[in-house]
Chains A and B, each alone.
Chain A
Amino acid sequence: MNSPLPVAMVVDADGVRVTLSQTVLDNAPIGMALTTVSGTVLWTNAAMAEVIGIADARTLVGRRLIDLVGEDDARQLAADAAALLAGDDAPRREIHRQSGAEPRWLEVRSSLALDPSGTPVELGDPAEPCVIRQLLDVTERRVAEQRLAEAHRELEERNRELERSNEQLSQFAVVASHDLSEPLRVVAGHVELLQARYDELFDDRGRTWMGFAIDGCTRMRRLIDDLLLYSRTGQELHLEQVALADVVAQAVHRVEALIGDSGARIEVVDPLPEVVVDRGALTQVLANLFSNAIKYARPDVSPCIVIRANWYDAGWRVEVADNGIGIPERHRDRAFQLFQRLHGREIEGTGIGLALCRKVIERHGGTIALATNEPSGTTVVIDLPTLTPTPKDEKP
């Protein structure tokens, strides 16, 4: 028979009694069943079919709900019913569905079935107290949670690996630079001694060669120092909320000599925001960018650097634009690699500046990229995502 069972529920809404028909209960997103304490199903709504994984919920009537689940789950459901009878609350329970095509997780809530006067009803043959079971399919949520936990574990593992390899890399750099320094000092020292004590024994060619040897040593020294600087900078960030304008001022101070010699102008487009960064590391980044802008100025054009910051959807975009010779698009990726130089020896440097900038910005979770500053020059675009919590937010 297809007609709905004559079951309804009456609720009291502000003194008005409203009847919820079987259809309303059938359409509920959860499966509901009235069972005897020993487990026989007396009534169920239609939604139960989907939750349990059968074609028609009515076929459940007369069967035992706990036969559809595993032994452990059945024991727990029985224990819940017993607790209800004893006047206790039954906990929210998660069980594993055994019926149907695939295993599902079901959340079960159990309560004692009462008549309108609040007395436990007794039904069935022989008559027993009854419980109402409400079942919700939480499989999607559980799968998502499991995936999330899995992803979290993987991320943590990868983080640990990254930390290990970072640690090893920085140790390697320290050891390498230290151990490279010793033989370098011996080579450089003795070539210098030759130059100082035996210079007159060499002809011009010999002196030129000694000069090359000394230049090589000096360059090697710089590379080692820079390698050490690169491995140390931004290794541990001490984040604090600072005014970007202060950091800019500090960076300008650091390149004052260069500015003085070149007649460079540095313009700040107000206002600059507050950012959460490692002050020392960001100062180093900006000083490197200023120094690049001045070193790679166009001949006969005095350098002009413009700094501005704009909010983008996830944080502050800081732009440092210059009017220098610019970096061709095909070289832009290479520019950020360690010890990569795009110019000849006529411009001093080991090629560490931008590599160091990238390391610092990426340690902040940001990105750094190069663009053209029309008509000529480079714009360095730094995206600094907002880091939380900021020290100010923590204060009451």
Chain B
Amino acid sequence: MTRLERRHLRNGLLFCLPWLIGFSVFLLYPLVASAYYSMCDYSVLLDPVFVGLDNYRQMLSDPLFGKSLWNTAYYAMFSVGLGLVISLSLAMLLNVRLRGIAWYRTALYLPTLMPVVAASVLWAWMYNGESGILNSLLAKVGIEGPNWLADPSWAKFAMVLMTVWGVGNAMVIYLAGLQDVPVQLQEAAVIDGANWLQRLRHVTIPMISPVIYFNLIMGIIGSLQVFTRAYIMTGATGEPERSTLFYVLRLHNVAFQDLRMGYACAMAWVLFLIILALTLVLTRVSRKWVHYER
């Protein structure tokens, strides 16, 4: 290696050093440590005691592990589906040449900028069974609204419905994808006699399928880690009747209320493996329906 090359390497490494230090301290070390602690009995206050796979075995007999997993799967399934449909629909509505369209795009994106805590408090008030705005609006059309967050049959659905608040991000990404669809393809389809729905199905959706795939993966990863809104709206209890006890909320309670950090680390690794498996399956399946322009 010449002197100049060594100098370049040294300078490059020096510039990378802050990131490397941050990566090692805040990502790599916690990752490795949590893998070790997941095989320990660790209360944070005392030294960890190695117990092998005991924490993982405990999960099999823990009824709340299964309950929280089911709640999270329910939430992910409906919130991702609802989010995808609504964000795509909004993006298509915003993909027109209209005077003031920028204002509409901004207005629909703004709710996404609200911090999750503030949005959760706001929605908790909106969902109030006695005086909430949702039930007031429903009452005007003669429908008696449910006790959204107090009724176990409605609480999870209420959380899913909140998803519409945060569709701004996906909507903007869809909008970018829609604007990338070649106009010539649309025109050719029109010439061939395709109607709006046929153009959507055979031209638009295939052309934006990579964007759909991206939003699907990101949506699943995000929804499987739902925590803040359940924590704020149910006081970290997962009430009513544990219908909103999501996986990460359960993990938080185990770690910081029960002081079983080892078990919590094991739960974290199981979640990671679930998300990894889902991502790999979706990536495999995506070869059939995602079309990349070459």
Q: Do A and B come from one complex?
A: no
- Which residues in B have some Cβ–Cβ distance to A below 8 Å? none
- Which residues in A have some Cβ–Cβ distance to B below 8 Å? none
